[in-house]
Amino acid sequence: MSEDGRNEAPGAENTAERSGDARKTRGIRFSESEWEEVKRAAAAHEMPAAEFVREKILALARAPEGGDAPPVAPSMAPLVERMFRYTWFLATEKRDAMVREGREDEVDALVAEVRAFHETLRSGAGD
């Protein structure tokens, strides 16, 4: 805990204070169950809960106008890649069944869509 009572991650830098724009405490209310969800999510990201909330809220606030969600952080790329590989592995059996049923055109369309999405992720769109 810092001198002014704030929890900060070890080695964390407060860029707002260095720029002369000191942070101030703001009030926000969570139910106990909501706060437990926040703490679990923050722990999964190895961050203090307050830092996690601040980061997520600022990402939403800084999203381009009309954007429904903030862009995917580059740090998420390995997780997305792993999920893609698991999905591909599990979908292979379903693909084979569809081919046996004579639904090759559906399979081809799905594969093309997934490959295009995967290339978009790999090229850094959304970083």
Q: Are 12 and 51 in contact (CB under 8 A)?
A: yes
12-58 pLDDT tens trace: 455 555 667 788 888 889 999 999 999 999 999 899 999 999 988 88
Pick the more confident residue, 126 or 82: 82
Q: Are residues 78 and 62 in the same domain?
A: no
DSSP string of 7-38, one letter each residue: ---TT---HHHHTT-----------HHHHHHH
- What is the pTM (predicted TM-score) of this model? 0.40
Q: What is the reported pLDDT for 32?
A: 94
pLDDT at residue 4 above 80? no
Q: Are residues 49 and 96 in the same domain?
A: no
In degrees and rounded to multiples of 5, residue 101 shows phi and psi of -85, 0
Residue 49 lies in a domain: yes
| Enclosing domain of residue 113 | 74-122
Q: What is the reported pLDDT for 5?
A: 41
